[in-house]
Amino acid sequence: MDSPINLNLKHPDLFRDQAYVNGKWVEAKSGKRFDIIDPGSNQKFASCPDMAVEDVDEAVQAAHEAFQVFRTFTPRTRADLLAKFDALIREHKDDLATILVYETGKPLVEAYGEIEYAASFTRWFAGEAERIQGTNFPAAIPGRRIFTIKQPLGVTAALVPWNFPIAMVLRKASAALAAGCTMVAKPSPETPLSALTLAYLAEKAGYPKGVFNVLPTTLANTPSLSEALCKHPLVKKVTFTGSTRVGKILAAHCADGLKKLTLELGGNCPFVVFDDANLDQTVDALIPLKFRHAGQACITANRVYVQRAIYDKFADLLAEKTRQIRVGHGTDKNTTMGPLTVPTGLDKVAGQVEDAKKNGGTVLTGGNRLDLNNGYFFEPTIITNASQSMKIASEETFGPVLALFPFDTEEEAVKLANDTSMGLASYCFTKNVDRMWRMFENLEAGMIGLNSGNSSAAESPFGGIKDSGFGKESGKDVAINEYLITKTGTLTLEGQY
């Protein structure tokens, strides 16, 4: 398509704008396509096939046929394939970063950071492929031996968000491929190109046709296509990252078929600062945790609870550092925060700021939309005098707005932090080791940052509790087990104890 934007890729073959099914680049059966928009300029720069329900069966059948062979690959062979895939991703990181910037809006330095984070999963799960092990147990009945083996589930479906489109595809696909499963991935309508680039690199790495398939689609077709994937009898596992509302819908779709399901859902994460914390350390952790990708991360700090004795000092220090953030297009090397990825995000954060002001909040810095290149920009914003009556106390923001809530006691902080239906991540900053351990045990979340901000890593189990979902997507054993079945064997011997 004609576009004023030229990506200037070093390797133009990396740019793929067709669906990838059974080793072939294909159009939708309907022939329809949809536009991809640069959030930093609100300009169209590419298009993709609008895959729909009628395109699902061919992709799943291809993945099922490929599974019959791929499941027989030895662990070493699967590890070698992932290692080749990993090397190709790192080799093409410059072009991948460029595509990421134009799809998501994030600054170039963050795009490189995402690729390094994403490739940590291909590297980690290359090792996990050879660490899959069964067990044996002594039996209560004489003459018996009990043992287990692990086997891949089969065809898996991955429904992937737009905020970290390369990392989220690879966190899911790397575990599945290491286990011996095949995959059909549905990227977000905002960010299909990065997923298609990964399909191209997977093919170059030597994955057989049908092992990894990608179905781009529009927002309008996403519900029906996702439902078709969830309900297809040959799909044995679904993994989804996104909102709690959609996660519950998908769980209902999977219920009839009793599909194995991993859900990484909403956050609304609390960040608790006690009066004995090192404030410089705390602010240095909070700024990137909150404003990375303009606050559009599920584990970002959403509600910051600050002990009253240090409230004003902490607010001033945080505001000072926040004002140093430079907002602009992701390709500008001076940019440290880009636009929001979708225009509806602007309306949400603007609404939360107005609601906070109506309910007694004070905007310490920021608070406004920015008119830059016609993109989806909003100032990094700090709100003080926040209260539980504000929308920001109960709604996940998913934008560059941060509210500071005062508290007095540890018990009060725990109660406020846990006062949410969600439980993805929580953060605590204190130099009191006893208090730190109590907070670790008492905060209701699947992941707790202890004097740490973003702690997501390939070797660390990732996942939430409560309305933030279930299952783990990284870490030793637990993540790859999401793609395996455990089969038990009981052997009875003659002539042996």
Q: How far apart are CA 11 and CA 13, in angstroms?
A: 5
Give the contacts of 227 (CB within 8 A, at least 6 positions apart). Answer: 253
Longest dimension (CA), the chain: 84
What is the CB-side half-sphere exposure of residue 271 using CA atoms within 13 A?
24
**Residue pLDDT, tens place only, 382-402:** 999 999 999 999 999 999 999
- Check residue 436 and give its pLDDT: 98
Tens digits of pLDDT across the chain (497 residues): 456 788 999 999 999 999 999 999 999 999 999 999 999 999 999 999 999 999 999 999 999 999 999 999 999 999 999 999 999 999 999 999 999 999 999 999 999 999 999 999 999 999 999 999 999 998 999 999 999 999 999 999 999 999 999 999 999 999 999 999 999 999 999 999 999 999 999 999 999 999 999 999 999 999 999 999 999 999 999 999 999 999 999 999 999 999 999 999 999 999 999 999 999 999 999 999 999 999 999 999 999 999 999 999 999 999 999 999 999 999 999 999 999 999 999 999 999 999 999 999 999 999 999 999 999 999 999 999 999 999 999 999 999 999 999 999 999 999 999 999 999 999 999 999 999 999 999 999 999 999 999 989 999 999 999 999 999 999 999 999 999 999 999 999 999 99
The dihedral region occupied by 15, where left means phi > 0, alpha psi between -120 and 50, and beta the remainder, is: beta
- Check residue 27 and give its pLDDT: 98
SS (H, E, C) the chain: CCCCCCCCCCCHHHCCCCEEECCEEECCCCCCEEEEEECCCCEEEEEEECCCHHHHHHHHHHHHHHHHHHCCCCHHHHHHHHHHHHHHHHHCHHHHHHHHHHHHCCCHHHHHHHHHHHHHHHHHHHHHHHHCCCEEEECCCCCEEEEEEEEECCEEEEECCCCCHHHHHHHHHHHHHHHCCEEEEECCCCCHHHHHHHHHHHHHHCCCCCCEEECCCCCCCHHHHHHHHHHCCCEEEEEEECCHHHHHHHHHHHHCCCCEEEEECCCCEEEEECCCCCHHHHHHHHHHHHHHHHHCCCCCEEEEEEEHHHHHHHHHHHHHHHCCCCECCCCCCCCCECCCCCHHHHHHHHHHHHHHHHCCCEEEECCCEECCCCCCEECCEEEECCCCCCHHHHCCCCCCEEEEEEECCHHHHHHHHCCCCEECEEEEECCCHHHHHHHHHHCCCCEEEECCCCCCCCCCCCCCEECCEECCCCCCCHHHHCCEEEEEEEEECCCCC
Residues taking part in catalysis: 264, 298
- Check residue 276 and give its pLDDT: 97
Q: How far apart are CA 463 and CA 124, in angstroms?
A: 17
What is the CB-side half-sphere exposure of residue 155 using CA atoms within 13 A?
24
Let me know: does 184 contact 235? Beta carbons within 8 Å. yes
- Check residue 5 and give its pLDDT: 82
**Residue pLDDT, tens place only, 95-125:** 999 999 999 999 999 999 999 999 999 999 9
Give the contacts of 32 (CB within 8 A, at least 6 positions apart). Answer: 49, 50
- Check residue 463 and give its pLDDT: 96
Q: How far apart are CA 442 and CA 414, in angstroms?
A: 7
Percent with pLDDT over 70 in the chain: 99
* pTM for the structure as a whole: 0.95
Backbone angles phi, psi at 492, to 5 degrees: -105, 125
Structure tokens at 447: 């992941």
Distances 37 to 100, 105, 143, 429, 464 between C-alpha atoms, Å: 12, 10, 67, 39, 31
**Residue pLDDT, tens place only, 31-72:** 999 999 999 999 999 999 999 999 999 999 999 999 999 999
- Check residue 3 and give its pLDDT: 66
Q: How remote is the C-alpha of 462 from its chain's centroid?
A: 10
* Nearest residue to 220 (alpha-carbon basis) of 85, 397, 411, 28: 28
Q: What's the alpha-carbon Rg for the chain, to the nearest Å?
A: 24
